[in-house]
């Protein structure tokens, strides 16, 4: 579990570094001076200067940063941010956003070259033959473990007594079946590799908290991403990234409408902050390299969209200020821009802390407990 959490944290840092690298590359291409490219946030651990740029590694591992000459105003020579034409400044800002999409397309291309099974909900209607209910965890000394059931087993069918076997296609159907026959012997037909086995066990009437009657955790899986030849995978990955972007924008628009009309979040939807994202990535890592790469690519796509929101303190906010400058033919005062950005940065941090306390910490506690 510790390993998956470390991998999750490193993945988030990787995405942040790539994001800042996008700003860095376009800034260099535009010929302006990049004063520092840092991984992590100060205090600085060490740094090395190459040319005019200091490359540093810093103590707080929460991302990365690029310090561009004149980005915050005050310097207007030909090597400063404010000395560039607006179109080039927009390109530098968009460089970070585009880098998220580039990473997503590359990872989705890898995923399509592998073929990946991904978790789906019971509400997803698919061909039953493409769906399986997989055991992802077996609790110690639970009926499932005593019966010889293992992680990775696929529950194919179930029955009680002398009744006929029923196919298992949804997690809820299986859970309802187990609850119905608590204290009575049931038989499960499971697939382990190429073998199909029958296991008999008796669901507990009063199981320990968070273990369930037979002591297993389940995931409904489907091979939605099929394997393609290497020359087709990049095309499929690009198309998939575009479709995901469109759906995410649609969902975001619906969320804005729902919140503005007082409907609130849809049922079951819970926001996630940095800790919550770490938990989701750690869970994805436990499900194999294929799904992990898929999940990172999806997160990268969502981060691209989030960063484009016209909110000061985000890339979209910077573009908003540049748009105002273009319309007025006069830049927004550096002090005013900094103050507005600081206010929104404080609001974003406050919102992140609220989400962390209300949703992420309980989410992490549950993940930690279930992983022990």
Residues 6+ apart with CB under 8 A from 187: 158, 159, 160, 165, 198, 199, 200
Helices (H), the chain: 2-29, 86-114, 143-146, 171-180, 233-260, 274-286, 289-307, 315-328, 334-355, 361-371
| Phi and psi based region of residue 262 (left: phi greater than 0; alpha: psi -120 to 50; beta: remaining) | left
For the entire predicted model, the pTM comes to: 0.81
CATH class of 128-225: mainly beta
The pLDDT of residue 9 is: 87
Q: Which residues contact 90 (CB under 8 A, 6 or more apart)?
A: 319, 322
User: Given this model, what pLDDT does residue 285 score?
Assistant: 85
8 Å CB contact between 234 and 102: no
The enclosing H or E element of 159 equals strand 154-160
pLDDT in tens, the chain (372 residues): 677 888 888 899 899 999 999 999 999 998 888 889 999 888 899 999 988 899 999 998 878 899 887 666 555 555 678 778 899 999 999 999 999 999 999 999 999 999 888 888 777 766 666 788 999 889 889 999 999 999 889 999 999 888 889 999 899 999 999 999 999 999 999 999 889 999 999 999 888 887 889 999 898 988 778 889 989 999 999 999 999 999 999 988 888 887 777 776 665 566 788 888 888 888 888 878 988 999 999 999 999 999 999 999 899 999 999 999 999 888 888 889 889 999 999 999 898 888 888 888 887 777 676 665
Contacts of 178 (CB under 8 A, 6+ apart): 186, 203, 212, 213, 214
Output the CA angle 212-217-220, nearest 5 degrees: 125
Q: What is the pLDDT, as a whole number, of residue 311?
A: 92
Domain ranges for the chain, please list them: 2-115+258-371, 128-225
Distance CA 361, CA 54 (A): 36
Residue 244 pLDDT: 93
Print burial letters for 341-369: b (CB count within 10 Å at least 16), e (below 16). beeeeeeeeeeeeebbeebbeebbeebee
Q: What is the pLDDT of residue 78?
A: 54
Beta bridge partners of 138: 216
pLDDT at 45: 93
pLDDT at 255: 81
Task: Return the pLDDT at 261.
Answer: 79
Are 101 and 300 in contact by the 8 Å Cβ rule? The answer is yes
């Amino acid at each position: 579990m510790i390993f998956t959490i470390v991998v999750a944290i490193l993945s988030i840092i990787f995405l942040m570094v790539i994001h800042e690298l996008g700003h860095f590359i376009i800034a260099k291409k535009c010929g302006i001076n990049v004063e520092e490219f840092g991984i992590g946030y100060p205090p600085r651990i060490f740094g090395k200067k190459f040319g005019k740029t200091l490359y540093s590694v810093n103590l707080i591992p929460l991302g990365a940063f690029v310090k561009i000459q004149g980005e915050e105003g005050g310097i207007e020579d030909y090597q400063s941010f404010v000395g560039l034409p607006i179109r080039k400044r927009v390109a530098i800002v968009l460089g970070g956003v585009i880098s998220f999409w580039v990473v997503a397309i590359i990872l989705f291309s890898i995923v399509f070259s592998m073929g990946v099974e991904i978790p789906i909900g019971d509400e997803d209607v698919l061909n039953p033959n493409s769906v399986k209910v997989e055991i992802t965890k077996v609790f110690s000394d639970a009926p499932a473990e005593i019966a010889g059931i293992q992680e990775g087993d696929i529950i194919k069918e179930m029955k009680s007594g002398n009744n006929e076997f029923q196919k298992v296609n949804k997690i809820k159907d299986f859970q309802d079946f187990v609850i119905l026959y608590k204290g009575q012997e049931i038989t499960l037909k499971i697939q382990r590799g190429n073998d199909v086995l029958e296991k008999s066990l008796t669901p507990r009437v009063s199981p320990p908290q968070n273990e369930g009657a037979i002591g297993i955790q389940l995931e409904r899986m489907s091979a939605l991403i099929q394997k393609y030849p290497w020359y087709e995978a990049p095309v499929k990955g690009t198309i998939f990234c575009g479709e995901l972007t469109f759906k995410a924008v649609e969902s975001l628009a619906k969320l804005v409408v729902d919140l503005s009309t007082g409907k609130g979040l849809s049922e079951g939807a819970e926001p996630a902050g940095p800790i919550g994202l770490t938990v989701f990535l750690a869970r994805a890592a436990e499900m194999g390299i294929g799904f992990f790469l898929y999940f990172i690519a999806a997160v990268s796509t969502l981060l691209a969209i989030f960063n484009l929101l016209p909110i000061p303190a985000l890339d979209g906010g910077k573009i908003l200020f540049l748009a105002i400058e273009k319309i007025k033919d006069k830049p927004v005062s550096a002090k005013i821009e900094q103050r507005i950005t600081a206010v929104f940065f404080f609001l974003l941090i406050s919102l992140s802390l609220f989400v962390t306390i209300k949703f992420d910490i309980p989410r992490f506690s549950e993940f930690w407990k279930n992983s022990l």
